[in-house]
Chain A
Amino acid sequence: MNLAAALARAFGPVVADGSDPRAVAGVLAWLLPPRRTPVALRRRAAQVAERDGGRPAEVLAAVVGAPDPALGDTLVDLAHRWRTLGVRVAVVGDPAYPARLAAGWPLLDAPALLAWRGTLPAARPTVAVVGARRATGYGTGIAAWLAEAASGAGVSVVSGGALGVDAAAHAAALEGPGATTVVLGCGHGIVYPRPHARAGGLFDRIVEHGGALVSELLPWQPPIPAHVRARNRVVAGLADAVVVVEGGERSGSLLTAGVAVERGLPVLAVPGDVRAPGSSAPHRLLSEGAAPCTGPADLLAAVGGAPTGDALAPAGQVPVDDGGLPPEVRAVLVAAWPRPVPLELLARRSRQPTGLLLAAVTRARVCGVLAEGPDGLRLRRAPTPEVRARLDSTTPGENAGRHGDPSGMPEERG
């Protein structure tokens, strides 16, 4: 009796609205390592569901039973830890648990327990933008383009918490009104990856922007490969469509795509440079029947979202020289888009006095026209076909470096 009361008191402030603290504590007690795993829990739940039927809450209760009194202190500590981290938890079937993810459980895999910070994506369409951690400038550029357009159209974005494509998608989604959800491969108590998870980093900004950080793990669980792999099924489970931007042969994004197929979601893949190792995952998916994604319109059409916002169709709305970039500079950036252009190359190709060029670049970065990464500088927004056409016709020879033209631009990295 004492234990039940203590658990109710500890978990009361941590569980989401409509969740039962005792049910949450029961599932947790069952999951506490090293005895059992989420996989075992789902297997047992599947057996129980097949034999007895019932709603997820009843199935869960039948599997986990009452918590072991010996675990009382551990569970109370756990609740406090989550509380200090500002985390909410719910078990599958609870009102706050995302319905999309819970659908089909336990036959379809989903975490029995979900812990999150921020606001979980609402009913509006959500797209998963996934890809390699070791992404090229092309990969991060495309991911940013897709995510920014989705967010601009009010579509939510979901992805993993890694650097590379994931981070590019999240950061770009912050540019629009749509929210973005990060699925972590570690517990909420782990600061990983450090540049994003530290105070004031990308993750904090995502929460401030109305998005969420989601994890099925206990606060202290580290981002071991098994955890990172398992999060891919959550990414797919939270999405209405999955687009794979870039990834190697054994990329986790193939797992995400697999789960999406299992759940009957549309899977899209972005064609890449056939020479780049990072193209093998999307190309394999394309050969297996994934829809090609050649821009935000393809992605938004897949979730039935109306393509809106000028990120998608900025024809004639964005002046060619916005951000004060000299036309020669802009021409080089447009020709290379969405690949970034290294600064020296930009200076060389645009033939501007160096001081003037650098000042213009800083100005354009400050007003958000240009993004900068280790690979170089890139226009944040896709140039319109009209702009490209006009530039192609007016400045022949300056379009070296266009995607597919290997003569000028540096080769892709793997």
Chain B
Amino acid sequence: MSAEGQVLAVSHSIAMVGLEPCAVRVECSLGPGLPGLRLVGLPDLALRESVERVRTAVKQQGLHWPGGQRTVVNLAPADLPKSGSGFDLPIAVAVLAATGQVPHEVLDRVWSVGELGLDGQLRAVPGVLPVAAGARHAGAGSLLVAPSAAPEAALVDGLTVVAVRDLREVVEVLRGRSCGTPARPAPVVVPQVGHDLADVRGQPVARRALEIAAAGRHHLLLAGPPGCGKTMLARRLHGLLPPLQVGAALEVAAIHSLAAQRRPDEALSLVPPLREPHHTVSVAGLVGGGSGIPRPGELSLAHHGLLLLDELLETPRVILDALRQPLERGEVVLTRARQQVRYPCEVLLVAATNPCPCGYLGSPTRACRCRPDRIERYRSRLSGPLLDRLDLHLEVSPIDREQLLGPPDGEPTATVAGRVVAARAAAAERWGEDAGNRDVEVARLRATAKPGALRTLAQAVEGLALSARAFDRALRVARTIADLGGRSAIDPADVEEALAYRLADLAVAP
């Protein structure tokens, strides 16, 4: 820098690498040389265009642009890839400070983020929530943002968020002549039960499976013909999930904000997300990706919530394979040439599938026209590591007349959700906050089972010719069944019930 000239001003902002905020110093120096502005420090394409926008905006607002001098703006640290148009404002602020139009002492405390229009108006950029959280963490006292981004940024505690309309207002605020518009945080929305479990008539087994899935966060496989209500059941399961804690809701909002899946003035929702990607979704769409800094995919958008994958067996193998590791680890790791980006994806997966290629195997109303070997091949795609992650398998039969005409015979969501919360609390007390019945080590699970339960399980696995994996899965589910029943030890009956959540074996015909 020194060869180019003296660093005259530094402003601060945040670059996001995935969900991880990194503080960035925007240094501006002026010196002799060819007139013009040079941007250094790994800017991406959108950032390079920033130079023109900033220059035009400054002039349009009637502010001074250092015309006769060589201006260099450096984004530090240099090895950190930066992207997007959110650096427009900090660059403009650094240039204005370097030319003495705003005081530079305040810039240590007053950080900024936002895109500039050519007229000098400020615009919101996606992902302002994690930027604001990062700024507060890095020591910012206040943050200048576009008015539309302010409610979202103001969700972060301990940071003064100032909404500014244009560059002139920025100058006024930094000179201390105006306070800008103090931002009020977006409201918080508490979940309302939309799809009530009471609507699930005459399917006691499905109701019970949903309750267990919600309580133990067990991934669920639903197999049934088209139109049998698989999606309906998945929505009811979503309604059974306890509301998010504010911290978790902020994490969810940050991911959605980064993916431009949320309006900045939207209320902070405590409703767990529900994502239903189509089975033609791309790998990048599912796990995340895209050029530049990879964006979160559906898996991460469903973080702390429910991911519903319909037509699981129509889904290409490559997609199924891409699901596996994120489901195991609870996070997506996207590796690019220069960096590794991590997005969390603690999801409850509900995978729905037809029982056979035509969809009508086992249907009482329509005949299945599939060749048996085709059914076998179709189902064999379900096997393997992904299926092993799905603890509960449920065959969903189409609604019949008897059910439709019957009275609502089951408990409403509110009642069942109460048991779910109690069961989760019991599990949390036993394992600690970091583990659940779904992923705690099998040895720890075994230690909570009565000897008779383990014996029963071993006999059943032998008698029904099940795999060792099925043993573990049944034990996990049995743990949750016991938790729902308020039992500290797993009973033989818990194990037996757990073993019933399996698809019928095709190879054993009678």
Contacts and interface: CB of A to CB of B under 8 A. Distances in A.
Contact of B510 (A168, A363, A414): A168
Contact of A354 (B208, B361, B508): B208
A361 B208 CA distance: 15
B397 interface: yes
B368 A371 contact: no
Nearest to A408: B402
A373 B510 contact: yes
A33 interface: no
A141 B510 contact: yes
A134 B368 contact: yes
A373 B508 contact: yes
A108 interface: no
B510 A359 contact: no
A313 to B, nearest CB: 20
Contact of A347 (B205, B362, B372): B205
A255 interface: no
A235 B21 CA distance: 74
A201 B376 CA distance: 13
Contacts of B459: 366
A172 B493 contact: no
A273 interface: no
B362 A344 contact: no
B315 interface: no
Contacts of B2: none
A410 B365 contact: yes
A202 interface: yes
B499 interface: yes
Interface string A352-388: 0011101111110111100111111010100000000
Interface string B33-51: 0000000000000000000
Nearest to A361: B500
Interface in B464-508: 464, 481, 485, 493-494, 496-497, 499-501, 504-508
Contacts of A133: 372
Contacts, number: 130
Given A140-B510, A366-B464, A358 B496 contact: yes
Contact of B508 (A162, A171, A347, A413): A171
A410 B205 contact: no
B318 interface: no
A193 interface: yes
B129 interface: no
Contacts of A409: 364
A140 B509 contact: yes
B244 interface: no
Contacts of A209: none
Given A164-B372, A344-B202, A196 B507 contact: yes
B205 A375 contact: no
B461 to A, nearest CB: 9
Interface in A254-283: 277
A78 interface: no
B205 A344 contact: yes
Contacts of B464: 365-366
A375 B505 CA distance: 11
Given A134-B372, A365-B463, 20 more contacts: A164-B509, A192-B373, A193-B372, A193-B376, A195-B506, A342-B362, A344-B397, A345-B397, A348-B203, A348-B204, A348-B402, A348-B403, A355-B208, A358-B501, A359-B493, A360-B496, A363-B496, A371-B510, A374-B506, A408-B402
Q: Which 10 A-B pairs have the closest CB atoms?
A: A410-B364, A195-B507, A358-B500, A144-B510, A359-B496, A163-B372, A168-B510, A374-B362, A414-B367, A362-B496
13 contacts: A193-B372, A201-B507, A343-B205, A344-B202, A344-B203, A347-B205, A348-B403, A358-B205, A371-B508, A374-B361, A410-B365, A411-B365, A413-B363
